[in-house]
Each structure stands twice: as structure tokens, then as C-alpha cells.
Amino acid sequence: MKFDYDLLVIGAGSGGVRAARMSAQMGAKVAVIESRYLGGTCVNVGCVPKKLFVYASQFSQEFKDSVGFGYTVDKTSDFDWATLRDNKTAEIERLNGVYRGLLDGAGVTIIEGHGEFVSDHEVKVNDEVISAKNILIATGSWPVKASIPGHEHTYTSNEFFYMDQFPSKAIVVGAGYIAVEFAGILNGLGCDTHIVYRGEPVLRGFDDDIRAFVSEELQQAGIQLHYHTTIEKIEKLDSGELVATFNDGSTCQVDAIINATGRKALVEPLNLAAAGVTIAHHGNLDVNEHYQTNVPHIYAVGDVIGRVQLTPVALAEGMYVAHHLFSSTSPRKVNYDLIPTAVFCQPNLGTVGLTERQAIEQYDQVDVFESKFRPMKNTLSGNPQRMFMKLLVDVATDKVIGCHMVGQDAGEIIQGLGVAMQAGATKADFDSTIGIHPTAAEEFVTMRTAARRIGRNESGA
């Protein structure tokens, strides 16, 4: 059979675009199908607009902090939501153009429309059937909503970045990284902000000390945390305000409710049954070490496979597929064990390696080094915000196996430490590194005394 393309990519997000570009540059004939926007979730309704909104939300605290340094601040509350929202949209549209230019420059054909399988080698788009020797599914994920009465009145992360009016009081449902980031944005921009979460504390899956510290900082910043709480129904008043009824019968009247309870793989519109691709019980696509689905010439990367929902991971996976298919050199495997991660809550969180709980399960003896302090800037500003740093060290090898930080620029700092850990750095390497003074980051190379020893055999017996 003669195919139209060597590779057909469904979804022009981070992973799909990277795979398409690299494959085309290796000589393959490639097309990308996209039904919404170039750049995927990250560029349009994820990382990029989120980070821009975080920057905006930090100015209110900066204005307050500046007073202690001699500035006179007259108007710190004149914030215009429409200006931020529309400037953000203009930047996203610019980035959409950049992605289009990258694909065009690599010789990739862009097909706009909804794609669905008609066979294992054919995809229908806009009444046209396109064939390909290999097909890559990179459709990403989609926000989920709880099926409760009135859920249609709530926002998801998709709509959050385009709200017509900025709320004066809002509920964020959930306590994962999206929820705490959105709560920080709302709070920083002047909204009376509430987090409603069925568990306790926030950021399940992160290091327990980090979770507790972030929770304290959120409350200190004025965000109200409603633990062990769910919303049972939502009513919309004639005024446009929403009344949320909680599981204990109490109510809360707000201007907006934002669902941030998770995302699911976007596979339903693809008609995968026509291609013989099976969907795992958890809703994702299962793939092997080469990112092949159960149909060997159909691949999948990114959020749709449900491994690690991060843009750089999708990029690495897309690169692997391109090299696997069209390069004579062996592709570099993605290291899922050491993925530096940042959460842009306020203060920021950065982490790489194991949590303390994971270290206890995997190692006999681990020394825990930690430090909590008020950063130098806040001594004059009066800002009560603190920093927290933590290192986990395998006693047997002296290797640093976990590194965690909450504080300003945590993501920037942890990125460098991620390189060190990837290279196998030991605690002795950290200790022998000269610190940059005065910085917060130098704390990572000056922590000398372990706070405690943990592990399967922490006593050393």
C-alpha cells in the first residue's frame, strides 16, 4: 500500500509538534492534524498563560514589600483584569504563529480539523481520508468536572484564562498543582479565595513536609482551606452569583467556581476502535518502551499516555519516537526517575528525586537535611513568607536522592540541582561546592547536620 505520509501526527501540542518537526528534519514526509490551536494545552490554556498570570499576581505583594525599602505606594489596587487577559491572549496568538512557523519551516503539512480513525492506517479529516505508514496520537488531556447539580456554572482551566469578569470571591475545587496555582493567582489579584478539597493537606503526591509547609503558607497569605469538604450542588442566583452547598450542609456564595480536580486523556473523539487501539481501564493509552500502542505502527506520547503530564516530558517522548522511526542512531530513553518539577504556587515549589516517604520504602538509611528561614528580602519588607529547603541523602553511597524547595525562584534553582543529581552528585559534592552569598540557594551547599535519619533500617543495626 502506498501511503500519503510516513508519519501522521494527531495533535499539535508539545509532544506532537516535536515529533513532527524532528521526523521531517530526518527526511520523513509528515503531517499534523489539529482541531483547536497550535501549541496544545501548555501554550494556550496551561503553562504559558498560567505563568503570565502568576507574574501579574505577585505585583500586589511586591508593592507592599517596597514600602519597607523606602518607596511610597499610593495605588496598589488599580488592577484591570481585561488588560491582563487580553495581553495574555495576544502573546498566545504570537506563540501560535511561532509554532506554525516551526512546522512550516521543517516542511510539515498542517491539516486543520478533527481527525478520527477509519482504519489502522487511515484518518478522516474534513471528509478527506489520509493514510500514513505510522500514526502518532498526541491529543493530550482535557479537564474533568464532578457530575453534580449545577456543574455547568463552573469554570475549568480552559475557561479560567478567558473569564469576562474577575471575581471578587471564588472557590477553587481541588488541591493539586493546578488548584494551588490558580488559588495563588486569584488571591494575589485581590480575590477572596477558598480552596475546597476532599482530603488534607494540599498537593497529594509531593513530599509530606513540602505539603504541610505550602498549606501553611497558603493560609498565611489569606487563602481559606476547606479540608475534607466536597460540593454537593451549585445554584446560580439571578444576580449571577453562585451558591455552593457543601457536604456538611453549609453554603458559600461566590462569583466564580473553578474546577481543578484533574484531567483525563482526550481519546473519545478519535474512534480508536476503528484502528483496533485499546484504551486502558484508567482511560489512558498504554504504550511499550517505544511508545507503541497495541497496534505497533500507532504510537502515543504526552498526557494521553498518562505517565507524567509535563510539557518537557512530552517533548522528550516525541523526540524518542522521531529517532526510533527515522534515525539510524538509538534514541535516548526518557528518565522518569529524575524529573525536576515546579509548582508556581506562592511561594514557588521546586522538587526533583524522591519524597521522604519514597526514600523510606526504597533505602535502608537516608539522612534528611532541612532548613526553614525567612529570606533576607523579607527582613525589611515585613513579609512573613518563609522558605523551606530539604535534601535526602542515601547513607550507603552519599548520593543525593531527593531535593525539595519552597520559596522564591524555586523552579530556577531546582533546575540546576536536577543536573547535579542526574550526574550522580553526592552530599560531599554539595558540601565542597562554594556557595554564592548572599543567596537563598547557598543553603543547599551549607546544610551540614542531618535533622533525622529515616529508611527501612534507620537505626543502623
Active site residues: 437
Would you state the cell numbers that stand for residue 213, as one nine-digit string? 509547609
Give the dihedral sign, CA 54/265/227/402.
negative
- Is residue 350 within 8 Å of 374, Cβ to Cβ? no
